Structure 1
Amino acid sequence: MSLIENEKAHPKPDILVPLAKRLRSSVKDLLGVIDQDDLRRADFLIDKIRSSLVYERYQEAKAFLKDLREFSGKTPDQRVHIKTDLIEINFLIHFAEKEKYHDKLAAFEQRWGNPEEDTNLLVWYLRMKGNIHFLEDMYDQALLCYKQAEKLFPQVTDDIEKAYIYGNLGKTHLFLSDPALGILYTEKAINIMLKKDRWLEVCSMFNILGACHTNKGNFQDAIECFERVLRIADQFKFSKILISRTYHELGVCYLRLEDCKQAIHYLNQSLEVVSPDHLPAWEEGFVHQILCRTYLKTGELDQAQHHIEKALPLLESRERLKSECLIFLGQIHYHRGNYKEFTRCYREAIQSFLRLGAPENAARASHTLGKHYIQSGDTDEGVRYLLLAVDHYHQLLPSINFEVHLPERNLSR
């Protein structure tokens, strides 16, 4: 037994055959020999689950996941077990089941740690961690996970996994107000997906690319991206949810162009093209938030309030977006002269932005609130919020010419 345990000897067939029979197993299983057909079967099922999730065929995805679990229970291959756990985490993230995906990730890390033996699996694990942070509006932490995965690319053989990471990097940089880097990474993702004929993923990436161009002020480039998505989607008959997201982004683009009529048209199309029960609650809420912003620009306060009141309960799971809604609700109160409610909304939003580590949002909201207090004659509160704004603007654009902090004064002089 000692020799076998130390791999200095191997049991003979006259021992293995009856042992396998008694254990209701096989000699291959006892030896840890993996049938390549079994590995191909596992990868086939994983790809089917991924595709079903991308195409919003959720019942189909559940059926394939059930098949994979059953298959995983019959093979001793550790890689299959790790992949099964990762695709389950992926599945739970897709449906934003927060408690379940946190529990599953914790169980995964306790069981496997970091799967460093296989770089492709390690990158997939890092992407799942990043996706959880992203889903919970912690973009800086998400970025760290994706960048850690990117460093491993020289050893990664799965090009689709690379494309997912590039796409996620693009989206994260967009949300961190760095659209130039968002464009760079999203274009890398698109190039890979085009070579692999992954057209739905290509369209999703073009939506991100268009949003980056919108944020950078390249409005014609943005519109071309969205129109290209609509042409491809019409040819392949993709899910209505993809088209809804494209109309949403077109609405945001026209809002930035200050063409409120077109913005309202496309944002309403975003809601009309899908039935509400097919669109994730937070996405529907996000569209209502943008409609509120648009009606604020046109001065239609009743319409703006109608949409923000619809948005707030739909965005319960997305704290950053909900906090942005409080800003727009505060602006509605300000326009109506209800300054007490205006300050309450802004204070609550600022606390949320600080908790989330969102310096730009915290700086802008504090700047506005500080100016209001100064104009209202409350200098102490005004200065407090303006200093808070300065502190967070400094995090965005730190000084490189000289130090901000002065040395300790020598009081003995």
Structure 2
Amino acid sequence: MGDIEIQGTVADGFETVRDEFAAAAEASAGVQLAVRVRGRLVVDLWAGDVTGETLTGVYSSTKGATTLVVALLVQDGVLDLDEPVARHWPEFAGAGKGGITVRDVLSHRSGVIGVDGGFSAEDLADDQVIARRLAGQRPFWRPGSAYGYSGFAGFSIVAEVVRRVTGQSVQEHFAERVREPYGLDLYLGLPEREEHRYREVLAGEASAEELAAFQAYVPGPHSLGGIGYGLDSTPPLDQVAFVNARRVRALGQVSAGGVGSARAGRVVRGCRVRFGRTAAAARTRHARRVRHAPFDRPRPGDRRRGPVRARVSGEGAAVPVPQRECVRAQRIRRFRVLRGPAQRHRFRVHAAAVLRDLVLSGTRPAGRGGPHGGQPVKAG
């Protein structure tokens, strides 16, 4: 397995994970892996030019933290997922966006995934700048009719709603209600005093054949995928340089500006969430068959049409994940239909990875539907 030194611990019965980790770490500048089972840390490993305390950019895992804040505000009765965004932000109603709800944004069905001409990297660092430009943008498809992912801009709509409703930013809510109380090693806005812990994301190494195969799946700059990942700007967004920019991690923009370690998901991993409404997805027995995520709008035949009420148990505050990639990755493991006294369907989802395992290196192509879009990345 070479001379690379593997550090950290594994629990009894997980020794083979260390062996597999060592094999993967051979090609990495630096790598971390943290795994929890029912709230217990069973794997905590690192190798290369990192430690267990190293932080790096986590891209779209940031959206999980943003969603956490939204669900807490829904639980408090401050937000209603089915209210139009324009109720709190009138300027957003222009260009046919008056009916778009917070739920539409969280479930990637708003159609507002970018702006004509694209965003500059400077614009994308700041949620309020993004929000001002999105306010006048027409949707790229009829809102609510289809899914389309926005890697770097879409959740700034949610951030603007939270700011207008509460007078505080998502970043402030996350720090006060999640990160600080639970000791979560994930930052939406990395303080200068923690800057020494940051390791840059590195462009992945690949052979000519591997690179050609990867490039074959990169979306065109003016396709919906290209718009969602910032490839339509001039020049196209350099997604590695973007996440490594000090301004991006200092502001902690809510779509992709978070910074964390592999241990960052420890508070929410293993928690349970019960929702007070059904969805057609709840009738399936396995996440592989789920067609839409828990924050999706109720479909015909649903018994209850109201805001989500999240009741949380476990280590800390956990919420449903709106991103479909989490369903595809089978992080949301199982749905179960329950019947209450009023014959309303209820379902429970094991949200074992509201924030995905954050492996801080290893060359991994993002692929057509990956979280980073334009090129493979690794961290070190």
Structure with more contact order per residue of length (Cα contacts < 8 Å, sep ≥ 6): 2
What is the TM-score normalised by the length of structure 1?
0.21
What is the TM-score normalised by the length of structure 2?
0.23
> Which one has the bigger helix percentage?
1
> Which one has the bigger strand percentage?
2
